[in-house]
Every structure is written in C-alpha cells, then in structure tokens.
C-alpha cells in the first residue's frame, strides 16, 4: 500500500536517569560527605531523579532522594553493613522502611533514586549500566502523595549518608527531571495542515518517556530527531499535566503549532490510569512548548464516542479538522480500535466533532496517524492481532496495509515525509527494561525505517 516498502535502518535504546539538559543540581564534589545534604532545588513534577557517582562508602552507608526542611523525607539508601538496599519514608517525624532487599555493592559504583509518580526505585550501575534493584509504590503512596503540588514543593533533592557516624566519598551528583527507560508513541509536531515542524534539519516529535513502572509512571516529552543521522535524538522539553488537583504524567498525544506560534495540545489521560477509563484531553497554549519544562492545564475533549479514548491525532484538511483517535469499550480486559472524527468547515479543532467511522474488527489496534503520502491523505494505524499497519482513507475505508516490518508490542506507524523527498517510519518496540523488578511498562527501543 502507498507504493512504499519500508526496511529497518536504525534500532537503538534511549535511556537516561537524569534527563540531559534538565539538571537542577550538578555538583562535582570530589570529596567526602557526612550526613544528609539537602539542596534548595525542588522537582517541578513527581518525575525526578538523583544520581550519585560513589567512590567509597563507609558503615554510614548512603542515601539519595527528597527531603523537607523539617527532616521528613523519601529516600533510597544502601547499607553496606547489613548488605541491604532500602526505600524509606519519614513522615511527621516517623520513619517507615517500605521495602528492602539484600544487595552487595562494591565501590566505585553509581547509585540513583528515581521517582516516577508515587513509585520510588533504587537503581545502581556497577559497570554494566543502570539496573533497578528495588521499587515500591503502594508503601510510598500509603504515607504521602507526591502528586500533590503542596507536598512535592516541600521536598528538595537530597543526598549523603544514612547516619552522621561516617562518610561517603562522592565524585559527582546530578539531580533533576527523570529521563526515560525507553521511548514510545512517537508523533510528529505538526502545523495545522499536517506539515512536519522541521528546523535546522531536525524534526520535532513528542514521545512517551517510559518510566520505572506501569503507565502511570510514564510521562511526555518533546524531542528533535536529526534527519541526517536518525540515531541523534535529543530531548528539548518536558511536558507534565496539572489536573484534578494533582501533578500527573499524561502522555501519548500530539502538538500542533499554528501560524501565530500558538500550540494546540491533545493528550491521553494515562497519568492516573486504574483500568477504569481513559480519555483524550486538550489545551491551547501561547507558551513555547518545544523547549523547557511545562505544566499543562488541560480539559476533556468532546469526541463522538461514549467509551474510552486515547492517542489523538489532529490535522486540518480542506478547512476541516480531522481527529483520529483510539476508541476503547474495555480496559479490563483491553479492547480497542482506531476511529476518525471530523469537524465542520471553518470550525475549531475541538468543537462539533462527528464520527466518520471506526474499524472495530480488531481487538488491539491503536496509534492512529493522519499523514499525507504521495499527495493523498490517509489514516495509518497498528493492528497487533494481524501484526500489520492498516491504511484507511479519510472516510475510514480500509485500503490495505503498509509494507513495513511489524516489530513487537503495538508500534505506531509515524511516517515522516523528508524535506528533500523520501520517507521514514519512526516507531518503537516492546523491549522491556528491568521487567523482573519493575514489571511491564518500561519499553521500548526506537526503531527507524526507510522507504525503498
């Protein structure tokens, strides 16, 4: 279909504990630390990390995490005497160890505290890359809710020793926004007419930043992809959502930048997912969402469906806004399929949307992309059951499938029209990170295909 045949040209795994360019603390201590050192820097959202390069550790052990000025804290720690890694919460002066595990770490090593939503993970690098040691969500969230803006703002980045009785020799400390264990759900940042936003040879895309945990532990970011070297992927913005009184990591959506620089946002409400519903949310912003850190104020988008929805895709064709999305009658068990809506001539993207059609022949189909290829508009999607990328016209008539390798999970077929001609397909796979500790959710590899 589309007279294109895609073949995989690049496959790589983006991974960062502290997101490069989003450090709030970067210290080359080169010395010894005694006691807990609390910084003045506070996370913007509950997706944060503290990363320590440890040269030597004494019987005092070491800790990293978040602490208040009155002594309360959420910390991941290592005790070399007992040979344990632990996660502890101190609340109103009372300390509770919510999880621990027998682990031996030989210096030098890297040690990190990672917060994704209310889930805390202790991570170490003993020379073979960062590996999760221990994680806990229920025990943490039973004692405090770091999604609460007032609670989070009282907690600053902290690191040091478990007690005052010894020291830890630390080479460097980095703290700031958590990065990602993998990337998924790619979607081009576009103009209203569907043109990809490309600057200096780099295409802008949003990705879901896989977290250390399930869907609630992921968040959303903006990246640039160097079209001349598709292994060069750089994060330029962190996007979080403030809704229902909480700071959340809603993700899987699209940014549309209009001619005046205003940005339309469509995003899915995965940030508080509990197997009882998902919906598409939207917002309009005058801020430059393509750089920096942002808390988005969103509201539900009125889509023509009575069931759950996610993965919105917006494009204006001949004066009318088309919105592709996933329609899901059930999330336990999961059942979902692609759908398409359209607005009236000259109407805004978020009003008067009417259903064009759905493809409910599939049980697991998502990732709809509206894209113009060879002068014609299409809706592209991903069908896990058949392991194909179905292609539809703007009436949701099934035309066939893309000739492209179908990798694991439910890869989204983000076709990129290159400025000089030719096409790429940017997607992801289901390769997990630390599944034995973290469970499902830490995928995936970035997969790039070129058309021949």
Per residue in 327-366, pLDDT (tens digit) is 999 999 999 999 999 999 999 999 999 999 999 999 999 9
Topology given in CATH for the domain delimited by 17-179: Jelly Rolls (2.60.120)
CA distances from residue 105 to 79, 123, 183, 318 in whole angstroms, order as listed: 9, 11, 29, 62
Contact 121, 114 (CB under 8 A): yes
Q: Are 177 and 44 in contact (CB under 8 A)?
A: yes
Specify the CATH class of 181-451 in words: mainly beta
C-alpha to C-alpha distance for 77 and 160, rounded to whole angstroms:
9
Sorted by where each begins, the domain ranges of the chain are 17-179, 181-451
Return d(Cα 255, Cα 397) in angstroms, integer. 26
The confidence score (pLDDT) of residue 98 equals 98
In sequence order, what are the residues at sequence separation of 6 or more whose Cβ sits closer than 8 angstroms to the Cβ of residue 307?
A: 327, 328, 329
| pLDDT recorded at residue 28 | 81
Distance CA 179, CA 21 (A): 10
> Rounded to 5 degrees, what are φ and ψ at 385?
-60, -45
User: Which stretches of the chain drop beneath a pLDDT of 50?
Assistant: none
Determine phi and psi for 405, rounding to 5 degrees.
-60, 135
Question: SS in 3 state form for 107-136?
Answer: CCEEEEEEEECCEEEEEEECCCCEEEEEEE
Q: Report how many helices (DSSP H) and strands (DSSP E) the chain contains, helices first.
A: 3, 36
Instruction: Find the helix or strand (DSSP H, E) in which 5 lies.
Output: none
E runs forming strands in 214-291: 219-226, 233-243, 246-248, 251-257, 263-268, 280-285
pTM as predicted: 0.97
Label residue 243 left, alpha or beta by phi (over 0 means left) and psi (-120 to 50 means alpha).
beta
pLDDT of residue 126: 97
Going 388 to 391 to 395 to 397, the CA torsion angle's sign is negative
111-131 CB burial, b ≥16 within 10 A, e <16: bbbbbbbbbbbbbbbeeeebe
- Residue 355's DSSP bridge partners are 341
Please give the pLDDT value at position 1. Answer: 60
Handedness of CA 286, 289, 292, 295 (dihedral sign): positive
Query: Bridge partners of 87?
Result: 76, 99
What is the rounded distance in angstroms from the CA atom of residue 31 to the CA atom of residue 55? 9
């Amino acid at each position: 279909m589309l007279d294109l045949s895609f073949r995989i040209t690049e496959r790589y795994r983006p991974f960062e504990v502290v997101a490069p360019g989003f450090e709030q603390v970067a210290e080359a201590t080169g010395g010894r630390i005694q006691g807990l050192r609390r910084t003045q820097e506070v996370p913007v959202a509950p997706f944060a990390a503290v990363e320590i390069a440890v040269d030597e550790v004494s019987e005092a052990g070491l800790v990293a995490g978040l602490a208040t000025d009155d002594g309360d804290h959420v910390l991941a720690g290592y005790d070399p005497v007992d040979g344990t890694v632990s996660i502890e919460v101190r609340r109103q002066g009372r300390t509770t160890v919510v999880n621990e595990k027998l682990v031996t770490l030989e210096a030098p090593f890297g040690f990190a505290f990672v917060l994704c939503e209310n889930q805390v993970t202790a991570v170490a690098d003993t020379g073979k890359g960062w590996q999760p040691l221990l994680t806990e969500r229920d025990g943490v969230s039973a004692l405090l809710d770091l999604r609460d803006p007032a609670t989070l703002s009282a907690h600053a980045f902290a690191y040091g020793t478990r007690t005052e009785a010894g020291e830890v020799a630390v080479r460097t400390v980095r703290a700031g926004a958590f990065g990602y264990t993998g990337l998924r759900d790619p979607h081009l940042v576009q103009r209203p007419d569907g043109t990809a936003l490309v600057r200096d040879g780099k295409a802008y895309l949003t990705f879901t930043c896989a977290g250390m945990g399930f869907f609630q532990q992921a968040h959303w970011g903006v990246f640039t992809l160097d079209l001349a070297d598709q292994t060069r992927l750089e994060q330029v913005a962190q996007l979080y959502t403030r809704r229902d009184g909480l700071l959340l990591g809603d993700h899987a959506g699209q940014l549309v930048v209009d001619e005046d620089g205003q940005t339309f946002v469509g995003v899915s409400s995965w940030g508080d997912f509990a197997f009882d519903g998902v919906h598409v949310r939207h917002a309009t912003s005058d801020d430059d969402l393509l750089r920096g850190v942002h808390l988005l104020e969103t509201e539900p988008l009125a889509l023509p469906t009575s069931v759950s929805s996610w993965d919105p895709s917006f494009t204006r064709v001949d004066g009318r806004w088309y919105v592709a999305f996933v329609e899901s009658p059930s999330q336990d068990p999961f059942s979902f399929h692609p759908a398409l809506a359209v607005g009236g001539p000259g109407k805004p993207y978020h009003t008067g949307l009417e259903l064009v059609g759905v493809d409910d022949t599939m049980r697991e189909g998502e990732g709809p992309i509206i894209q113009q290829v060879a002068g014609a508009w299409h809706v592209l999607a991903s069908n896990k059951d058949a392991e194909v990328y179905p292609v539809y016209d703007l009436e949701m008539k099934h035309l066939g499938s893309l000739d492209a390798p179908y990798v694991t999970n439910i890869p989204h077929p983000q076709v990129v029209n290159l400025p000089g001609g030719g096409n790429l397909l940017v997607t992801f796979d289901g390769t997990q990170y630390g599944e034995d500790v973290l469970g499902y959710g830490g995928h995936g590899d970035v997969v790039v295909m070129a058309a021949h």
